[in-house]
Amino acid sequence: MSEFESLPMAKALNAGLRQAMQDNPKVLLMGEDIGPLGGVFRVTEGLQAEFGDKRVMDTPLAESGIVGTAIGLAMRGYRPVCEIQFDGFVFPAFDQITSQLAKLTNRHEGGISMPVVIRIPYGGHIGAVEHHQESPEAYFAHTPGLRVVSPSTPHDAYWMIQDAIRSDDPVIFMEPKSRYWPKGDVDFADRGRTLHSTAVAREGTEVTLLGHGAMVSVLLQAADLAAEEGTSVEVLDLRSLSPIDYGPILESVRKTGRLVIAQEAPGFGSVGSEIAATVAERAFYSLESPVLRVSGFDTPFPPAKLETIYLPDADRVLEAVDRALAY
């Protein structure tokens, strides 16, 4: 493997999983159709042939059973990585994740660890049917005991999946499925930043745009369009939804005086809501306008033919930028 390579995110995740399995024989992969098929998005392609069916295990269609088994394996010293085939399929496992996985370490006063990673392909932009394009990250970010992260680039995907597997705490690993295929440079020698850190994706001076996962590419597109109109926009990639690295966010807001938060998830009770409240508390006197949010609507995800109306795009982001600058 060369030091640099241009890969789609799906291949970068595959490489990261392979590296983690080579580094630690206690790393196991579990999920529906992840073996010979390589998963519906081919993220685990070739791994069962390389590591065997005792380490890359096809499971029944039973998400609660997958996560429950992973909890037992973690108690015995393994580091299981569970794939939830699509975002909307995670809810049969919700009780295991929020009532057991998230609480066991605290329940035992730190006497046991839960090094379990739950991989969840999430979000829209793929024209899929009901339960295949949702953004449930706020449920897990709200749950103490869980770490929640989401890469936006192949480079981050490669390094973040390995960092998540090394964590002794459970990690909900949200993979923006619409970013599985676009290629990006992966530096195999230097991760560049830690797992729970906010990154500056583009520097600017007048407005801060903040998002995670697939939304980062939308914000960068909006920043390009804003620059054509003479507006300097800074773009931040949240990367970690719990815990949140507020340092770069507050630093950027104190510089620009304006913050627009964008997400695919519905706006009410969301990660964006939490960030907006915290920024208002901690950087109030630096704000030149209210913190604005651009999100999916507070409705169930619509049929595929309506997803472009539901999902925030560059135009909706730019409309918020204009409102922020108008104050």
Angle at 193 between CA 11 and CA 274, to 5 degrees: 95
User: Which CA distances in Å does 147 have to 63, 117, 207, 242?
Assistant: 19, 9, 29, 5
Q: Which of 108, 125, 131, 132 is catalytic?
A: 132
Return the exposure string of 252-261: e unless at least 16 CB atoms fall within 10 Å of the residue's CB, then b.
Answer: bbeebbbbbb
Instruction: Decide the pairing of beta strands 183-187 and 147-149.
Output: unpaired
In DSSP terms, 122 is beta-bridged to 176
- Residue 315, classed as helix, strand or coil, is helix
Tokens of 24: 């630690």
Contact 96, 116 (CB under 8 A): no
**What distance, in Å, lies between the first and last C-alpha atoms of the chain?**
52
Residue 175: partners with Cβ closer than 8 Å, 6 or more residues away: 9, 13, 43, 119, 120, 121, 122, 150, 151, 157
122: phi then psi, degrees, rounded to nearest 5:
-140, 165
132 catalytic, yes or no?
Answer: yes
Active site residues: 132
